[in-house]
Chains A and B, each alone.
Chain A
């Protein structure tokens, strides 16, 4: 058994560890173990690679790992739970960049002629890795609000993008024909980087979670392609695992919004919402602002309460005081539950993480399917910084961009209390007629201070 065989065998072990790791993520009880197993898989694979007999540049490797670990570790420790989606997007972009750089290194360092298949996978790795890198950075800047969360569109956008794709394919063909054509190769990299930017800027902030998940899938695919180019089974296996998982999550999220992936990618969702601006289809009536005392009395008189948290709660860091309010009312005999829409937050399941952070008990959390029928028999629903996931237009207004999206049917409750920062529209940029209904009480202000005031008011 040669050393190369042994390394390949260790790669197999690490692939098994990765799979066991993901398998253990299927329950909160074993998830931590799963992450450890996956980490062990990574360490074993790295150790095997470093043990390869034809390795020379250990000093460079150690310096690079030290720099990367310092940056990654610092960012991971500092990031707020609410900013997790941005962080994941950035890390993912790093993975894409790594794949593209490896393919570039292989292109530079390869001696002799390239096999056809190697050349094709190498080019795919550069293209997919490159667009994952810039696409993820744009997703990050959109989620952070550094650039507008609104879709950025311009005339003939899709024609321009299609043109760039065709040009990329043409240049790839040139390189494929003549690998010495390094100019074309580097031009492909530039186009791939540009494509990542152009593909993500027309996508609205509300759709960013889908894009982050899709880019995650792409980064896996890029790794797989690198694996083919280097003839490395570990990269092929693990890359396809990630690619498939990302695609699966993307599909789950699209289903939760009742949209197709094509619609997310090319629909420029929320770009123009003229129906409301024109006054044609917009909701009628007026929003009624209430005082904290009015809302507190309503809460005290309730027998049952469902709390619907949205990203507004997370952004205001109000999850802890929300749990305090829920706990207090629960002790006072109110039946308190939380309703969680699957796309609440900025990633699938993001809201569950945030409520877990605030120690909300599992048994009070309900998924949309499990609680939707109960709203009609509930006294009060408290909507905290959620907007699109409770917008009745999804059921009633065929002209609305979110028509058909499954929503939490909070408008069926006796009274709906909506905590909202201002009269402005939500993340998806769509007006919400729920706020204009007669049984809706609006409490304007920062979610955290509103709930704090509510808590002290109900305690009096």
Chain B
């Protein structure tokens, strides 16, 4: 990997850190638990690396087996994370509707 690529990567990393902190600071306390669970689901994006590791080898080998396990774990994180977040947010929404009635 050449130095230019590393610098670009680090630039993206630093800028995204600031963007993340900025975005999160706007979230009210009421929504902190769904926020935590949502950002947890987002961290399941490791699934992209897992898919590459599983799918890249042309035959089943150590890499693809490790990738397979990684896909299972990451999918639990992604599917479970988004579903529990949705369940929590459902409650906030349901109450709003009732109030209007």
List the interface of chain A (C-beta within 8 A of B).
15, 18-19, 21-23, 25-29, 31-32, 34-35, 38-39, 42, 45-46, 49-50, 52, 54-58, 60-61, 63-65, 67-69, 71-73, 75-77, 79, 81, 84-85, 87-88, 91-92, 94-95, 97-99, 101-102, 104-106, 108-109, 115, 117-118, 212-213, 216, 219-220, 222-224, 226-228, 230-249, 252, 342, 345, 347-350, 352-353, 356-357, 359-362, 365, 367
Nearest A residue to B11, CB-CB: A236
Within 8 A of A (CB), among B53-71: 53-64, 66-71
List the interface of chain B (C-beta within 8 A of A).
1, 5-6, 9, 12-14, 16-21, 23-64, 66-96, 98-99
Say yes or no: B87 contacts A76, CB within 8 Å. yes
Expressed in whole angstroms, the Cα–Cα distance for A140 and B16 within the complex equals 29
Expressed in whole angstroms, the Cα–Cα distance for A309 and B86 within the complex equals 24
Say yes or no: A356 contacts B91, CB within 8 Å. yes
User: For residue A72, which residues in chain B have a CB less than 8 angstroms away from its CB?
Assistant: 75-81, 83
Question: A28, A98, A234, A347: which contacts B73 (Cβ < 8 A)?
Answer: A98
Say yes or no: B73 contacts A101, CB within 8 Å. yes
User: For residue B60, which residues in chain A have a CB less than 8 angstroms away from its CB?
Assistant: 57, 60
Expressed in whole angstroms, the Cα–Cα distance for A249 and B20 within the complex equals 11
User: For residue B91, which residues in chain A have a CB less than 8 angstroms away from its CB?
Assistant: 81, 353, 356-357
Expressed in whole angstroms, the Cα–Cα distance for A226 and B40 within the complex equals 16
Q: List 19 A-B contacts (CB under 8 A).
A: A21-B38, A38-B38, A46-B47, A55-B55, A60-B55, A61-B51, A64-B50, A91-B37, A95-B43, A97-B70, A105-B54, A105-B62, A118-B1, A227-B9, A232-B52, A244-B19, A252-B32, A347-B32, A350-B33
Grouping DSSP codes into helix (H, G, I), strand (E, B) and loop, the A interface class, with mixed when no group exceeds half, is helix
Say yes or no: B17 contacts A42, CB within 8 Å. no
Nearest A residue to B5, CB-CB: A231
Nearest A residue to B26, CB-CB: A26
User: For residue A360, which residues in chain B have a CB less than 8 angstroms away from its CB?
Assistant: 95
Say yes or no: A68 contacts B46, CB within 8 Å. no
Grouping DSSP codes into helix (H, G, I), strand (E, B) and loop, the B interface class, with mixed when no group exceeds half, is helix
Say yes or no: B44 contacts A95, CB within 8 Å. yes
Nearest A residue to B49, CB-CB: A102
Q: How far is the CB of A447 from chain B (nearest CB, A)?
A: 20
Q: How far is the CB of B72 from chain A (nearest CB, A)?
A: 4
Nearest A residue to B3, CB-CB: A117
User: For residue A244, which residues in chain B have a CB less than 8 angstroms away from its CB?
Assistant: 16-21, 24
Say yes or no: A31 contacts B92, CB within 8 Å. yes
User: For residue B58, which residues in chain A have a CB less than 8 angstroms away from its CB?
Assistant: 56
Given A88-B84, A342-B29, CB of A28 within 8 Å of CB of B96? yes
Say yes or no: B83 contacts A77, CB within 8 Å. yes
User: For residue A95, which residues in chain B have a CB less than 8 angstroms away from its CB?
Assistant: 40, 43-44, 46, 73-74, 77, 81
Expressed in whole angstroms, the Cα–Cα distance for A269 and B63 within the complex equals 42
Say yes or no: B47 contacts A57, CB within 8 Å. no
Say yes or no: A240 contacts B68, CB within 8 Å. no
Given A98-B47, A102-B49, A248-B24, CB of A237 within 8 Å of CB of B16? yes
* Further 9 A-B residue pairs, CB within 8 A, beyond A56-B58, A61-B71: A22-B39, A42-B78, A55-B55, A71-B72, A105-B50, A216-B39, A234-B48, A352-B30, A357-B91
